[in-house]
Structure formats: structure tokens, C-alpha cells
């Protein structure tokens, strides 16, 4: 049996399958991952949350970077990998997607249970009153006025609903991710370098709690040695091949 056939067989048998994704699942949609040279994240120093709170210059720099990133996000579409995962959830092979991504492409592909560990760039939230608005119009306002917009309801500071460096992860999302990871019988980690915590803690927790761990990633990861199957390659092609096996029943 090939690794692809093995993963298909496990998916067919699984009752509590969970997928964990990183930036690598969205590179085939044209969004650079963290480590790509020349990528949006490599181009400038990220603004830390404390600096955002402390300085107007930092808030302007934050919005400038987010406006650049927004162009990539707004133009991107879900790719074959996102769509396969949505179908697997629909067919009962998967229960949830836990993602580190902020691009919203899993939901756009049709995945329903998506736990966004790092929040979402599709929304902007007021740090004071919590009011949430779609990102697009506010980013356009920032570009038009060349000034950081403030909350229409209370005048407070607006920030993308993503988790900045130095900001803690949303507690409810993290809690549910821990629970689903520990209850999973099959765990697929896709397109993540698995070098940062809690990114690497969740797949490790799943494995320790009895799940089969499958890692699909172009480059090796530190968790490869604890995985039951590791496949190095492009996610879209690999998931499509697994889906073909699943349909054929091989
Ligand atoms: P990472 O950049 O650290 O690692 C991505 C991994 O994906 C790499 O190991 C690479 O080998 C692999 N990869 C890239 N394209 C692939 C493909 N087509 N097929 C298979 N493997 C592929 O990503 P990370 O572990 O998610 O950490 C990055 C952090 O930055 C995340 O926490 C995330 O919040 C943020 N980020 C998000 C986005 C997004 O929302 N799309 C993009 C970049 C960064
Ligand atoms: Zn407000």
C-alpha cells in the first residue's frame, strides 16, 4: 500500500478526523507563506501589539502593512486543497479544520467548522467596544485618506481581527482546538513548518492522545519523526490523489 492509499484508508475509517493547516495550504492560491523570500511578511518588520497600543506611528505602519497584504488576500481564491477538505467535511470524513491562517479561504471553499487560531484578516474589530466590520471598505478608507480610521461607533482604535505578535490567542478557539485535537482519531497536519508553539503542540497532543498523525508538507518538519505517515510534496496534488483513492475505494 502506498502512503496515499494508506491515508485514504484511514480517512474512510475515521470518525473524528481533524485537519490542522498552515500558510502552506494557501501558497497555491498565490498567498506567500511565512518563509518565502520576498513575501509580504518578509518585506517588513511586523508591528508588535504593545507598540500598536503605545504609538500612533506604529498604528500607521500596522495599517500600511495590512493594506499591502489585503491586496493579496482580496485577489485570492480557494485552491484544490481547500476544496478537497471542504468535501471531506461534507462527506463525514473530517470534523474540523484548525488553521493558523488568517485568509478565510477554508470558509470560502465551503468548510463549515473552522477554528482560526490566529483570527481573521477578513474582519476589523474595535479594541474598545468590540464592534466588527468587514476589512475591505476600511482598508480602502485608509488608502484614500492616508490616515488610520477609527471606530464609527465609539471612536476607539481599529485593528484587524488577527492575533498580533505579543497578543494572546483567542481563548475559546484555543480551548476547542485542544479538545478536538485530543479527541481526534486521525490528524492531518498540512502546510505548516510546525516550528512555533502552539502550532506544533496541537499535532503532538493529538498523537499522544491516540490519533494517527499524517504530515503533508513540502519541507521536513520537527514532528516528522513522530508521524505515522509523512508525505513531502505539494498539498493540492497530494490531497487530490488521496481523494481519488477514497472515491475508488482502494
Ligand atoms: P510557515 O510559512 O512557517 O510554513 C509553511 C510550510 O508550508 C513550509 O514548511 C513549506 O514547506 C510548506 N509549503 C508551502 N507551500 C506548500 C505547498 N504548496 N504544498 C505543501 N507544502 C507547502 O507557515 P506556518 O507554519 O503556517 O506559520 C506561519 C504563520 O504566519 C502562521 O502562524 C500564520 O498565522 C501566518 N501566515 C498566514 C498566512 C495566511 O493566512 N495564508 C500566510 C503567511 C503567514
Ligand atoms: Zn468602538
In degrees, to the nearest 5, what angle opens at C-alpha 86 toward C-alphas 238 and 106?
A: 90
Residues lining ligand 1, CB < 6 A? 22-24, 26-28, 31, 33-35, 41, 100-103, 118, 191-193, 199, 217-219, 234-235
Q: Is the pLDDT of residue 115 over 90?
A: yes
Q: Is the pLDDT of residue 227 over 60?
A: yes
The model carries a pTM of 0.94
CA atoms within 13 A on the CB side of 109: 26
Q: Is the pLDDT of residue 41 over 60?
A: no
> Would you tell me the crossing angle of helices 235-248 and 80-90 to the nearest 10 degrees?
30
* Per-residue model confidence (pLDDT) at position 249: 80
Rounded to whole angstroms, how far apart are CA atoms 202 and 224? 14
* Per-residue model confidence (pLDDT) at position 24: 96
Q: Is 217 left (phi over 0), alpha (psi -120 to 50) or beta?
A: beta
Amino acid at each position: 500500500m502506498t502512503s496515499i492509499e494508506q491515508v485514504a484508508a484511514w480517512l474512510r475509517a475515521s470518525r473524528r478526523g481533524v485537519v490542522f493547516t498552515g500558510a502552506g495550504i494557501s501558497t497555491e492560491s498565490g498567498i506567500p507563506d511565512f518563509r518565502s523570500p520576498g513575501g509580504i511578511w518578509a518585506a517588513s518588520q511586523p508591528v508588535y501589539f504593545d507598540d500598536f497600543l503605545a504609538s500612533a506611528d506604529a498604528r500607521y505602519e500596522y495599517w500600511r502593512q495590512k493594506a499591502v497584504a489585503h491586496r493579496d488576500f482580496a485577489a485570492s481564491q480557494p485552491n484544490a486543497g481547500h476544496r478537497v477538505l471542504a468535501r471531506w467535511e461534507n462527506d463525514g470524513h473530517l470534523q474540523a479544520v484548525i488553521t493558523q491562517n488568517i485568509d478565510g479561504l477554508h470558509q470560502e471553499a465551503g468548510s463549515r467548522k473552522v477554528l482560526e487560531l490566529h483570527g481573521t484578516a477578513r474582519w476589523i474589530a474595535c479594541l474598545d467596544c468590540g464592534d466588527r466590520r468587514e476589512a475591505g471598505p476600511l482598508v480602502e478608507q485608509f488608502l484614500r485618506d492616508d490616515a488610520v480610521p477609527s471606530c464609527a461607533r465609539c471612536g476607539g482604535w481599529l485593528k484587524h481581527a488577527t492575533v498580533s505578535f505579543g497578543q494572546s490567542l483567542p481563548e475559546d478557539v484555543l480551548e476547542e482546538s485542544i479538545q478536538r485535537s485530543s479527541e481526534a482519531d486521525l490528524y492531518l497536519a498540512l502546510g505548516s513548518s510546525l516550528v512555533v508553539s502552539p502550532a506544533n503542540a496541537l499535532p503532538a497532543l493529538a498523537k499522544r492522545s491516540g490519533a494517527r498523525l499524517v504530515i503533508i508538507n513540502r519541507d521536513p518538519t520537527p514532528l516528522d519523526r513522530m508521524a505515522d505517515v509523512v508525505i513531502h510534496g505539494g498539498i493540492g496534488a497530494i490531497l487530490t490523489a488521496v481523494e481519488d483513492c477514497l472515491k475508488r475505494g482502494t
